[in-house]
Amino acid sequence: MFSLAYTISDELQAELAACETLRRQILLTPLPPKTEFKLRWQAQINRIQDLMNYLGFPTAKNEILPILVSHKISSSAGLAVLSLRASLDYLYQNWTASPKSVTLGSLDALVQLAPSQTKSALNKYLRKLDKPVEQLLSYVQAQNDPAVLSAAITQAQIALLTNTEPAGLLFGRLLAYLFLFKGGYDLRGFLVLGGGQKGELDTFLEVLSQASKCGNATHYLVWFTRELREGLTRVKEALFSSGMHPDLTNNFWELNHRQEEILVLLENPAAKITNRDIQKRFKISQITASRDLAKLTSLNLVYPHGKGRSVYYTKI
């Protein structure tokens, strides 16, 4: 049920083809592990900055970085940054190349991870708009269109259904990431929508408004796909640049022997580890084990599951 008509024009087809070519080039480019860690870290900051814009809290990269490194929160914006990181981690872990269908029920977990500023509104939307959202999800998954179009259509429709309110804009953007991850566009953790530019959200709203007025989304889809293609081009350029990562000391990227061995222990896809496991294996204190796990989590090398004493970690 997409309320706007669209056609796969020659221009849109060319943009889609360019995106697919760039996707394959990025996936096939060999990288040293440390370079890959740095690029994934940079992409994470850029994704969070993009989402903060859609939330209505424009935030500079140098403000996001210390929050991710220290987990120290001194403002509502800081809480939002950590919530958005958790949301993106959830999408990566649960939807990257997933064969599952996206249903109304599967959105609940994403709502629960959303920043506190949006939870109430999102719960209201899903109750009030459950039928249109369910129809939207069925529509985009029945079309057999490229993941890029599914992402663009979902983001646009959620924005229109929620009257372009900040909570709806953010949720639509998260669902765009979901469909891109699902369709193989995570790109080893490098994917970023938008370039973090101040006016990107305004442009999205303007292009969407034009599409809504004329009842045709072709121009909007070309714009979305072009933005993605430009983002993929930046990723490709970053693969061959040593300066495309935050200005952190080299020690930040270095792992000690325990941290390296923890990653080896988690090589098996079914493997998991707890703080207590690490204490026993290396004969270290709970605090030291926590520091090792915090370092690996900050570098996006391991993913925590659960809370409190029941938390365990798997390799990303």
Q: Give the range of the structural domain holding residue 294, as residue numbers without chain letter.
A: 255-315
Domain CATH for 216? 1.10.3290.10
Q: What is the pLDDT of residue 68?
A: 83
Residue 134 shares a structural domain with residue 233? yes
Residues 190 and 302 in one domain: no
**pLDDT of 249 strictly over 80:** no
- Number of domains forming the structure of the chain: 2
The predicted-structure confidence for 169-204, as pLDDT tens digits, reads as follows 999 999 999 999 999 999 989 999 976 566 789 999
263: which 2 tokens? 């990653």
Tens-digit pLDDT profile for residues 38-68 = 888 888 999 999 999 999 888 888 888 888 8
- Given a cut of 60, whether residue 2 has pLDDT beyond it is no
Question: Residues 223, 104, 186, 295: is their CA dihedral positive or negative?
Answer: positive
Is pLDDT above 60 for 244? no
Both 195 and 296 in one domain: the answer is no
pLDDT tens column, 103-144:
998 899 899 998 988 988 998 888 889 999 999 999 999 988
Report the range of poorest mean pLDDT among 58-62, 71-75, 116-120, 233-237.
71-75
Rounded to whole angstroms, the Cα distance separating 18 from 25 reads 11
In a domain, 166, yes or no: yes
Within this chain, do residues 168 and 198 fall inside the same structural domain, yes or no?
A: yes
Q: Same domain for 65 and 122?
A: yes
* SS3 readout for 229-294: HHHHHHHHHHCCCCCCCCCCCHHHHCCCHHHHHHHHHCCCCCCCECHHHHHHHHCCCHHHHHHHHH
CA 262, CA 292: separation in Å to the nearest integer? 9
Q: 81 and 218: one domain? A: yes
Q: Do 35 and 163 belong to one domain?
A: yes
The answer on 106 and 174 residing in a single domain is: yes
Report yes or no on 249 lying in a domain. Answer: no
Same domain, 42 and 182: yes
pTM: 0.82
**Mean pLDDT over each residue of the chain, to the nearest integer:** 88
